Amino acid sequence: MISRRTLLGLIAMAGSAGLPTLGAFASDGESGESASDAAATKPVKKPAVPVKLGKAQAFSRDALVAKAKALAEADYVPPRKIPQPWIDMSYDEYKGIQFNPESGLWADSEMPYIMEFFAPGLYFPSAITIDVVEGDTSRPVLFSKEVFRYGHLVPDLPVDDTLGYAGFRVRTTINDPVRKDEFVVFQGASYFRAVGKGQYYGLSARGLAIDTGEAKGEEFPDFRSFWIEGVEPGAKSFTVHALLDSPSVSGLYSFEITAGLTTEMDVKAVLFPRVDLNHVGIGAETSMFLFDETNRHRFDDFRPAVHDSDGLLIENGAGETLWRQLANPLTLQVSSFVDDNPRGFGLLQRPRDFGDFADLEAHYHKRPGLWVTPGEGWGKGSVTLVEIPADREIYDNIVAYWRPREPLKAGSTHHFTYRLNWCEEPPTNQKLPKVLNTRMGNRFVGGRLVTIDFSDAPILPKKLEDITLHVSSNRGKVSEGILQRNPRTGGVRLAFTFYPEELTSIELRAQLLVDGKMASEVWLYRWTA
């Protein structure tokens, strides 16, 4: 079974190696390639060879659903491996294979989108299939080595019928009325990512998470085949159908994608479990949190913070708005927020000033958040947060998803609908003051001091004494809170001290109240020694 660390390398590859871009893009993690390295991997330019399509065949979404169901009723068959020389390439060799932008599908047409493709190899030992839908027929995108440019380090690579592309990206006029910039990528397992206007790639989404954080290991389903529908002149949206398969489940996902200030994806998924799925994650997203002002002392770094997301926001079915500040623990941590028909959840990036990160290359202040709005019938379960120890920013160590309370039984059929918003701010109607920042440090007189900055909002009275503070912990002592105006933010700062003493973990909670009613998000944090 594939390891999480291998998959994390795979995701980083999807966001960095061999992906030149004109607009909203940043590689994941550390940068600083030397001039000699760049020269060695720089592809040699050559005349463009356009991507070609194969013969037409009948298409319907119902037929794709039936195909997924038939897969689940048969034994799982692993995907075929491509020739070994492609898999044995080094990172630098693989990085030297870059798609020729002039070869992109629809590059020489009036279509609003251009589609480009990734080479197989290294972290991508099997190829996917991609079809383009035209009415009630679809045509396969044919693989060709000629649509890529090759650096001097790239070895001579054989071609056979196992070869195909490893994934694809789409460009459109998201940032400029003329220039088409990359805004969505599907590559590796069931991972995909997107950005809104002016954003840089950060966190990723997943079609399905299975056994995340379990001792027995995690299963990573694959999107094995794609069908691209609705790309025509003047179209504002298009649809990606993705066939999912793994030893435990098969299914079909349909993504209606609309680029914009916030890029939206309306998702329809149907799942056919081969076995009972006791721990499954719907609307899964994965991100990176290394450090901020809560654990800055652990990292010798010139930057004040390094993360793609700094908190998990939840609007639960009871009407509460929860902000769970992220942590980078020394041991695996799993938190479950039990709920019934949640209104929404997502990993967000709230610091938005350059000075919050001081990174001229990674642009962490421009990373998107990802908000999940569930459709009908999600029922009972829990928003689950998994925090994995990490010592470098190249590792995505944060996972969040919805875990249904009841297992998905083998032989059954399950439908899920939801919307994904790749955004700076989530599309919620909540007017409560939000958590802007959390800072933490030792006090010389004992205990640890916490400061929480809340944004300003009309609900907060001018007199601070009219605001009631709620500060608590599941064990140990906490002080009474102190509230002050923050002239920098215009909002208020809550400060309190907690006393760990011999404890190894503490669940902390804080909130502002006015007349006994919610007057802020509920701030949550799990402190670990």
> Over 60: is that where the pLDDT of 11 sits?
no
CB atoms within 10 A of CB 329: 18
pLDDT of residue 41: 62
Domain ranges of the chain: 4-423, 435-528
> Over 60: is that where the pLDDT of 37 sits?
no
Structure tokens at 295: 């654990």
| Residue 71 DSSP symbol | H
Least Cα distance to 133 among 63, 227, 2 occurs for 227
Residues whose CB falls within 8 Å of the CB of residue 39, separated by 6 or more in sequence, listed in order: none
Task: Read off the pLDDT band of 429 (50, 70, 90).
Answer: confident
pLDDT of residue 38: 54
278-293 pLDDT per residue, tens: 999 999 999 999 999 9
Least Cα distance to 377 among 402, 346, 409 occurs for 402
Query: For residues 499, 435, 381 and 271, what is the CA-based torsion angle, rounded to 10 degrees?
Result: -130
197-241 pLDDT per residue, tens: 999 999 999 999 999 999 999 999 999 999 999 999 999 999 999
Residues whose CB falls within 8 Å of the CB of residue 31, separated by 6 or more in sequence, listed in order: 361, 362
User: 4-423 maps to which CATH number?
Assistant: 2.70.98.10
Task: Read off the pLDDT band of 416 (50, 70, 90).
Answer: very high
pLDDT of residue 30: 41
pLDDT of residue 28: 43
441-475 pLDDT per residue, tens: 999 888 999 999 999 999 999 999 999 999 999 99
Q: Give me the CATH topology for the region 435-528.
A: Immunoglobulin-like (2.60.40)
- Return d(Cα 132, Cα 418) in angstroms, integer: 24
488-514 pLDDT per residue, tens: 999 999 999 999 999 999 999 999 999
Least Cα distance to 97 among 120, 73, 68, 75 occurs for 120
pLDDT of residue 478: 96
Element (H, E) at 94: helix 91-95
pTM of the predicted protein model: 0.92
- Return d(Cα 180, Cα 170) in angstroms, integer: 9
pLDDT of residue 21: 35
Least Cα distance to 224 among 195, 263, 198, 253 occurs for 253
Instruction: Give the gyration radius of the chain's Cα atoms.
Output: 24
> Over 60: is that where the pLDDT of 327 sits?
yes
| Residue 405 DSSP symbol | S
Beta bridge partners of residue 222, listed in sequence order: 245
Structure tokens at 338: 């039990």
Beta bridge partners of residue 169, listed in sequence order: 116, 185
Residues whose CB falls within 8 Å of the CB of residue 490, separated by 6 or more in sequence, listed in order: 455, 456
